[in-house]
Amino acid sequence: MRPAVMGILNVTPDSFADGGRYLDFEAALAHGMAMAAAGADVVDVGGESSRPGALPVPEEEERRRVLPVVEALAPHVRVSVDTVKPGVARAAVAAGATLLNDVSASLWPVAAECGVGWVAMHMQGTPRTMQDAPRYDDVVAEVRDFLVARVEDAAAAGVHEIWVDPGIGFGKTVDHNLSLLRHLPELVALGRPVLVGTSRKSFLGKIAPGPGGAVLPVEERLAGSIATATWSMLAGAAMVRVHDVAATVQAATLVGEARLPELETAAR
């Protein structure tokens, strides 16, 4: 069985890779449907950017952006909502979302109350300042211990589907991101399905720069995105969160053929 693919749908003016492209309802719905047709197992609808430097969006505005899109997509594909606000999460579930993608790792009580799945992602700080000076004594241990504690909280509260995500790029330097990818099997060993999001992130453009050493711009990071998604899936990630669904589904299908049976999870 191949690993799952989560397609990114940012209904925002300012997301780092697709900001402004799907702010309009029709454009968002069409892109969500296209990702589903391309094989996305989940479409992740977000109305607030969490890129470095991003400012919070008022709740009313976030609801206005995401709820119609969630409602229109939910009959066709599994929908997750990328939010940190309990009110938006509850409303998105009422509109048909069945997974809370929570970069603040704080919404497990809402997941328990609503009977839906929950993604706990690690972040150091907040989007506004997280890339100013990320610091860890041992990034792998600190991220793992944080996620273990959140999983215990969520399991005790009765959440039945709990994902963990190392939060690539969320308060992390290039070296921190690389360490987390190298040690992904330690997260997989926790026994919970692991989600990884590297798609088009800036560290890809820094590690493998273009001619002359310039950081690769966001529109030239497809190869790095596929490479790191493949790396993550081979290390045991059960799902990858990506902008480029069709290419990633191809990679996931190949990984499904390649990876060892003991890395398979019952996530899907």
- Residue ranges binding ligand HH2 (CB under 6 A): 8, 10, 12, 15-17, 46, 49-51, 82, 101, 103, 119, 121, 165, 167-168, 195, 197, 241
How many alpha carbons fall within 13 Å on the CB side of residue 126? Answer: 7
Please say if 128 is a catalytic residue.
no
Fill in the DSSP letter of residue 76: T
Nearer CB in complex with ligand HH2: 173/212: 173
Nearer CB in complex with ligand HH2: 44/255: 44
Instruction: Name the burial class of residue 61, with classes exposed (0-12), middle (13-18) and buried (19+) by CB atoms within 10 angstroms of its CB.
Output: exposed
Give the amino acid at 2.
Answer: R
**Catalytic residue selected from 85, 144, 150, 241:** 241
Q: Could you identify the residue written with the tokens 């499904």?
A: 256
d(CA 24, CA 8): 15
Residue nearest to ligand HH2 (CB): 197
**Cβ contacts of 256 within 8 Å, gap of 6 or more:** 1, 2, 3
Please say if 241 is a catalytic residue.
yes
| Residue 20 CB, nearest approach to ligand HH2 (Å) | 11
**Catalytic residue selected from 65, 78, 201, 221:** 201
d(CA 262, CA 235): 11
| Residue 104 CB, nearest approach to ligand HH2 (Å) | 10
Nearer CB in complex with ligand HH2: 117/197: 197
User: Count of CB atoms within 10 A of residue 30's CB?
Assistant: 12
Fill in the DSSP letter of residue 99: E
d(CA 116, CA 94): 11
CB 80 within 8 A of CB 43: yes
| Residue 51 CB, nearest approach to ligand HH2 (Å) | 3
| Residue 213 CB, nearest approach to ligand HH2 (Å) | 25
| Residue 257 CB, nearest approach to ligand HH2 (Å) | 26
User: Count of CB atoms within 10 A of residue 208's CB?
Assistant: 14
Nearer CB in complex with ligand HH2: 225/255: 225
d(CA 210, CA 215): 6
Nearer CB in complex with ligand HH2: 63/258: 63
Which residues are identified as catalytic? Answer: 201, 241
